[in-house]
Structure 1
Amino acid sequence: MTRLAILSDIHGNMSALEAVIADAEGQGCTVFINLGDTLSGPLWPAETADVLMARDWPTIAGNHERQLLTLPRDRMGASDLFTRAQLNPRQLAWLAAQPATCDFAPDIFLCHGTPGSDLTHYLFTVEAAGLRAATDDEVSERTGDRGEALILCGHSHIPGERVLADGRRIANPGSVGLQAFHDDHPCPYTVENGDPRARYAIVDAGRILFRHVDYDYASAAAKADREGRPDWAIALRTGRMEPLA
């Protein structure tokens, strides 16, 4: 039986990516899937692109790929702006060829956020008070009439799964490259996994196995510091964020 390694939200963190690949191969994974937000951040976007282009995994675009390719530079956030400046035409063409979703197999569907949005969290809901677990009704509404037994998503950076009443399963492998962040869509909120280890998941005979992998996160944090991103450096070292003002 083929073991699938499910990766998402690498965010240009080559150190974390290399550790996850080694762990997944050691676990017997022979097929790798990438759910997007692959490069954006103050780390190693070009190097990450080259490694993944050579491996040619099934890959979909996340919101950061869309933003990198469509937003004018004066509207980009700092992570996208840094990344856009590092990428060559071949790497940009690789991003542009990535679909927003993918019918990977008759029973497996890939999306970054939800089937209809790369910015909406699937298993969580953002409210004025912050991020909370989505209700079953919310998850069912976001799933719509997708008939696949397994839907794989990213975006939230939080590993987890939900099984709907009809048996359909939605799973998020967590983030390879970044274990905490602030965001402001649709209102300010914070995600924190609480430790810096890289996350991914394995799909094996219908089971979802969540993995966390140690790596040299201190070197990634030092790179973020050198690029003027102390917020990322804290997240990479600790899996936590400074409180929102």
Structure 2
Amino acid sequence: MTIQQRIAVIADVHSNILALDAVLNDIDRQGIQQICNLGDSVYGPMEPAQTAQRLIDRRILSIRGNQDRVMLEPRQPSPHSTYDEVLADLQPQHMQWLIDLPEYRILHEDIYACHGNPRSDDIPLLEKIMPDGVHMRSDQELLEMLHGIEQTVILCAHTHVPCTRYLPDGRLIINPGSVGLPAYEDDLPYEHGMESYSPHAKYAVLEHGAAGWSVTHHLIPYDWEAAARQAEYRQRPDWAVALRTGRAHPL
């Protein structure tokens, strides 16, 4: 086993530099040199510019998430808009970094990395959002969504909830969870909440051995109270609740 056969997978940092640094310190402690970032890095009411700069300075292999993409699209300014605040914080080099990010990557010829699913950055791969809530997709649905993807390991993100799923054809789908935002609510395509039920910063490690890939999910403590106070200062009490509890609603 060589160190190059271990890959740390991070996603959905959402401007939370405190959580990102805690995760990077844990990855460094293990001696893992390769990191893959599945996107949605800078949107959020904490430290978008610092987060982007950290990822750039560390030369972390990254892809573009749906909210990274939205940062590049024209929009009308609105009062107390988190998007506007993020754009005001980001510097030209950070915007260029976002522009240059690919929508997907293939690692080691065996790993396919996307943000949502291979055809859409804002539709989850593992879960489907229905009027009555969030449901796991069937094996058949997943096989159809992965048609044409030859890799045996598929990395996805977007829902912020850690999960590893084994398919009948032997492939693995891995969502590492969110580094920086452990829960959220959304109204598209229907109102729903995604909750990890813990405030820890989350990531995954893939390790290749003689029998194939093993997966370890990590939950890292950090000063989530400080992150929550940053969100409150920037008028996002909903984020503060999620950061403190891993839930979309107060306990």
Structure 2-normalised TM-score?
0.93
1:213 aligns with 2:216: no
Structure-1 separation of matches of 2:81 and 2:160: 19
Which deviates more from structure 2 when the two are superposed, residues 81-90 or residues 213-222? 81-90
Counterpart amino acid of 1:89?
Answer: P
2:246 pairs, out of 233, 236, 239, with 239
1:182 pairs, out of 182, 185, 195, with 185
Which deviates more from structure 2 when the two are superposed, residues 134-143 or residues 3-12? 134-143
Identity of aligned residues (%): 38
Q: CA deviation at 1:127?
A: 0.4
Q: 1:16 to 1:144 in 2, by over 3 A?
A: same
- 8 Å Cα contact 2:80-2:235 kept in structure 1: no
Which deviates more from structure 2 when the two are superposed, residues 65-74 or residues 94-103? 65-74
1:93 aligns with 2:96: yes
1:126 aligns with 2:129: yes
Consecutive unaligned residues in structure 2, runs of 5 or more: none
1:60 aligns with 2:63: yes
Counterpart amino acid of 1:237?
Answer: R
- 8 Å Cα contact 1:73-1:81 kept in structure 2: no
Q: After TM superposition, which residue ranges in structure 1, 4 or more long, deviate above 6 angstroms?
A: none
Q: CA deviation at 1:102?
A: 1.0
Structure 2 residue matching 1:202: 3-state secondary structure: strand
Counterpart amino acid of 1:194?
Answer: Y
Which deviates more from structure 2 when the two are superposed, residues 11-20 or residues 83-92? 83-92
Q: How many matched pairs?
A: 243
- Within 5 Å, give how 1:139-154 maps onto structure 2: 139-154=142-157
Which deviates more from structure 2 when the two are superposed, residues 24-33 or residues 175-184? 24-33
Q: 1:185 to 1:71 in 2, by over 3 A?
A: farther
Structure 1-normalised TM-score?
0.95
Q: 1:211 to 1:77 in 2, by over 3 A?
A: farther
2:22 pairs, out of 14, 19, 25, with 19
RMSD, matched Cα = 1.6
Structure-1 separation of matches of 2:82 and 2:157: 18
